[in-house]
Amino acid sequence: MFPMLETERLVLRELVENDAQDILKCFSNDDVLRYYGQKPLTSIEQVKQIIKNFAGQFKEKNGVKWGIELKETGIMIGTIGLQEWSLEHKRANISYALFPEKWGNGYASEAVDKVISYGFQELGLERIGAVVFVENIASSQLLIKLGFTKEGTLKKYMYQNDISYDTDVYSLLK
């Protein structure tokens, strides 16, 4: 059964086909993708397949992706997930994206904190990592605020719009 998580202001829930339009809106936005290392999504059909892929990853126990919804309104404001989840090695990497109009309200911090707790307490992870574009100061500050440690920099590790970027690697240990 897919885990639904709640915080004071948010519900983290399974992504479903009806979320396709919101996900397309989020992941076709240049501001959202600037530091994401992903090409823009272009069609509802593409997004529906991605949602199916997320469900398969959870079933296979190698990833989990939630939609981030405001409790008060039921409106989706982004996504968060654990990928490269390894049961054997007790680790996963975290990623998150919010609509730009929701930045700066503490929602990302609230969601990340909840997923960290879930990863350590429910999934038995010993390490949660994050790979962040060096230029993404806000995300780096959020991770450090939540206790992550910068382990180093990977040179030319990610590409965005055919340009290589260095990324910082962060980790949080149980």
- For tokens 């680790």, name the residue: 91
In the three-class reduction of DSSP (H, G, I as helix; E, B as strand; rest coil), residue 12 is classed as strand
Q: H/E/C letters for each residue in 88-126?
A: CCCEEEEEEEECHHHCCCCHHHHHHHHHHHHHHHCCCCC
State the average pLDDT over residues 12-34: 89
**142 pLDDT higher than 90:** yes
**40 pLDDT higher than 90:** no
Q: Give the residue with greater pLDDT, 38 vs 118.
A: 118
Q: Give the residue with greater pLDDT, 145 vs 28.
A: 145
- Residue 31: its pLDDT value, please? 82
- The whole-angstrom distance between residue 114's C-alpha and the CA centroid of its chain comes to 12
Confidence of residue 114 (pLDDT cuts 50, 70, 90): very high
State the average pLDDT over residues 18-33: 87
Confidence of residue 124 (pLDDT cuts 50, 70, 90): very high
- Residue 30: its pLDDT value, please? 82
Confidence of residue 160 (pLDDT cuts 50, 70, 90): confident
Task: Please provide the average confidence, as pLDDT, over all residues in the chain.
Answer: 94
